[in-house]
Amino acid sequence: MRTQVSFTAAGVRCAGYLYLPTGSGPVPCVVLCHGFSGTMDRLFDYAERFAAEGFASLVFDYRSFGESDGEPRQVPDIDGQLVDVRAAVAFARAHERIDPGKVLLWGNSLGGAHVITVAASDPRIAAVVAQIPFNGFPKKVEGRSTSETLRLLGAIVWDAIRGKVGLRPSYIPMVGRPGELAVTATPEADQHIQTLTGGGKTLWRNSVAPRGLLQMMRYRPAEAAARLTCPLLVCVAAEDRETPLENSRVLADRAPQGELRVYPGSHFTFYTDLSFRDRVVTDQVDFYRRTFVTR
């Protein structure tokens, strides 16, 4: 059963959907958090799979994205998104069908960093899954020249300045072709866009305020991982160029109860390959269930 829900985070309405398994008693709940420019519709399939395994699942859009309120639109703000995640956790704990002692966090890409950060300051979180999580930018972006990097840095700084003085964001594409000004510029750009849109109607927009990248340069989820009191599972792709294996591995190594699962494929394999996703979700469900046995 899926129900449209909303909750307030720092005075802003965040929209979401709550998936509930059959039955009447309180159940564990997985709160799912999307990535940098993502929207919750990319996580519906994950939520359905968790619900089929007996977990409640809550998906939502961060402020200024998708169905949530917030202006200006398409502006990733790390501090604000962390507030949104905490508000989603509070909403889940207050729901009559959810066991407040069994709230679990699940995050993808930048959302993977967020769930680690939030759990590090909330000892009531039962367990965390960070899927292809952000933990710093690659030292060298394959296929991007020095001049293209400088051009992107210029766009980031210009947009950040506009934000400081209250001007409209200077948007750039999230995904573009090599040589284009975009957050991610790859030869597979068209394929990546198809992946992110699902090939049809979607909440996702190929437009983002790049000022959020400046915040990400200072974001250190590994420091939070070292403070976790709950188990952490990090799921990564061996050929990931967006959130490289060597960066993500640090999160599992730093966590006192960290586990690492490495899968064949790239960053986008987690979005495109349904049989691959079956395997990953099976591992994640097993991890969550083991958590309840050991707590």
pLDDT, tens only, 119-139: 999 999 999 999 999 999 877
The two beta strands, 2-9 and 12-19, are antiparallel
pLDDT, tens only, 69-128: 999 999 999 999 999 999 999 999 999 999 999 999 999 999 999 999 999 999 999 999
Domain regions of the chain by residue span: 2-140+218-294
Which CATH fold would you assign to the domain 2-140+218-294?
Rossmann fold (3.40.50)
What average pLDDT does this structure show over 5-28? 95
Q: What is the per-residue pLDDT for 25? A: 84
Q: Which residues contact 119 (CB under 8 A, 6 or more apart)?
A: 105, 125, 128, 224, 228, 230, 232
Q: Which residues contact 128 (CB under 8 A, 6 or more apart)?
A: 104, 105, 106, 107, 115, 116, 119, 228, 230, 231, 232, 233
Residue 173 has pLDDT above 80, yes or no: yes
**pTM of the predicted protein model:** 0.94
